[in-house]
């Protein structure tokens, strides 16, 4: 099995994404800092801590993916508690999305929550998204698309209230790993045969191809073609080129010029 990965910081000070490669288990995590923007030891953000704590829990690979998901959620809760985070207010909570796969002899298991993706590509070049991507940022990005050209370049001045509204719905209308017990009902699991399978890709939303219209579905057919032509690096280069020509995020609505990226590809 050939393993490739990309781990690249976006426009922020830290890469709040996390990834790991551990023999038969692989994972990507997309951390999100609380809306209070508090920082902790060594200037680390809540998003960074959430993704890395959860990722290292899965890396130890001591039990089922379901049990590891629960354990990671508990560890994030404990880490916030130790640092005095208000656990009764969603805007103060750290959170992370994740996608993890475990390769077995004839099959592979996967676990996921949030907007991290598991993509299977078969020997006949057909593909399948194993996780249903819930686009909880759709309304926010539609608002930015509508108002950005007349309201300057600071997205938070325009959509800050909408972001707070969406964040209040964590583990109510969409799932993230953030220490809440309600997160458990949003974790998704599955198992697929390796027969006829050529590639498994797991990646954070920093590797989503930018869209002019937020309502459009993610074009994973283009994503797949870019991967088959040149691997993860080819996808990243394509995305960064689009972003470089839209540094103010007006043509392709998004929260910052470049998002963090964590991605792993497995070639069987």
Q: Tell me the mean pLDDT in the region 143-171.
A: 79
Average pLDDT over residues 180-187: 97
Interhelix angle 138-147/155-167, nearest 10 degrees: 160
What residues are paired with 117 via a beta bridge? Answer: 203
State the Cα–Cα distance between residues 66 and 184, nearest whole angstrom.
9
Write out the DSSP string of 87-122: TT-GGG--EEEEEEEEE-SSEEEEEEETT-EEEEEE
* CB contact set of 190 (below 8 Å; sequence gap of 6+): 109, 110, 130
CB atoms within 10 A of CB 69: 24
- Band (pLDDT 50/70/90 cuts) for residue 141 is confident
* Alpha-carbon torsion, ordered 54, 55, 56, 60, to 10 deg: 100
Tokens standing for 14? 């830290």
* 79's tokens: 């880490």
Give the model's pLDDT for residue 265. Answer: 98
Question: pLDDT confidence of 158, banded at 50, 70, 90?
Answer: confident
pLDDT, mean of residues 194-207:
97
pLDDT band at 37 (very low <50, low <70, confident <90, very high): confident
- 209 secondary structure, DSSP code: P
Residues in Cβ contact with 242 at an 8 Å cutoff, skipping those fewer than 6 apart? 209, 210, 252
Residue 29, classed as helix, strand or coil, is strand
d(CA 237, CA 245): 13
pLDDT of residue 217: 84
- Distance (Å, rounded) from C-alpha 125 to C-alpha 67? 33
Strands (E), the chain: 2-8, 17-22, 25-32, 95-103, 107-113, 117-122, 127-129, 188-193, 197-203, 261-267
CA–CA distance, 56 with 75 (Å, rounded to integer): 10
Please give the CATH architecture assigned to the domain spanning 2-135+168-246+260-267.
4-Layer Sandwich (3.60)
Q: CA-based Rg of the chain, rounded to a whole angstrom?
A: 18
**Confidence band, pLDDT 50/70/90 cuts, at residue 208:** very high
Tens digits of residue pLDDT in 77-106 = 999 999 999 999 999 999 999 999 999 999
pTM of the model: 0.95
Residue spans of the domains in the chain: they are 2-135+168-246+260-267
Partners of 127 in the β-ladder? 121
To the nearest whole number, what is the mean pLDDT of the chain? Answer: 93
What is the pLDDT at residue 155? Answer: 65
Above 90 in pLDDT, residue 133?
no
């Amino acid at each position: 099995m050939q393993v490739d990965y990309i781990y690249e910081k976006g426009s922020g000070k830290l890469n709040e994404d996390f990834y790991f490669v551990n023999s038969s288990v692989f994972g990507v995590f997309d951390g999100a800092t609380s809306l209070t923007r508090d920082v902790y030891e060594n200037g680390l953000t809540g998003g960074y801590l959430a993704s890395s704590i959860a990722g290292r829990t899965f890396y130890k690979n001591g039990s089922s993916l379901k049990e590891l998901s629960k354990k990671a959620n508990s560890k994030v809760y404990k880490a916030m508690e130790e640092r005095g985070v208000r656990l009764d207010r969603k805007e103060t909570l750290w959170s992370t999305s994740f996608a993890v796969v475990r390769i077995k002899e004839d099959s592979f298991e996967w676990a996921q929550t949030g907007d991290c993706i598991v993509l299977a590509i078969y020997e006949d070049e057909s593909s399948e998204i194993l996780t249903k991507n819930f686009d909880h940022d759709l309304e926010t990005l539609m608002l930015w698309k509508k108002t950005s050209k007349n309201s300057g370049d600071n997205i938070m001045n325009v959509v800050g209230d909408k972001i707070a509204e969406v964040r209040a719905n964590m583990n109510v209308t969409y799932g993230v790993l953030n220490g809440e017990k309600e997160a458990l009902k949003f974790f998704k699991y599955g198992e697929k045969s390796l027969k006829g399978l050529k590639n498994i890709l797991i990646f954070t939303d920093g590797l989503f191809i930018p869209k002019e219209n937020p309502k459009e579905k993610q074009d994973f057919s283009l994503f797949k073609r870019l991967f088959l032509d040149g691997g993860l690096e080819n996808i990243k280069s394509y995305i960064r080129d689009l972003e470089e020509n839209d540094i103010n995020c007006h043509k392709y609505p998004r929260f910052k010029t470049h998002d963090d990226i964590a991605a792993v590809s497995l070639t069987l």
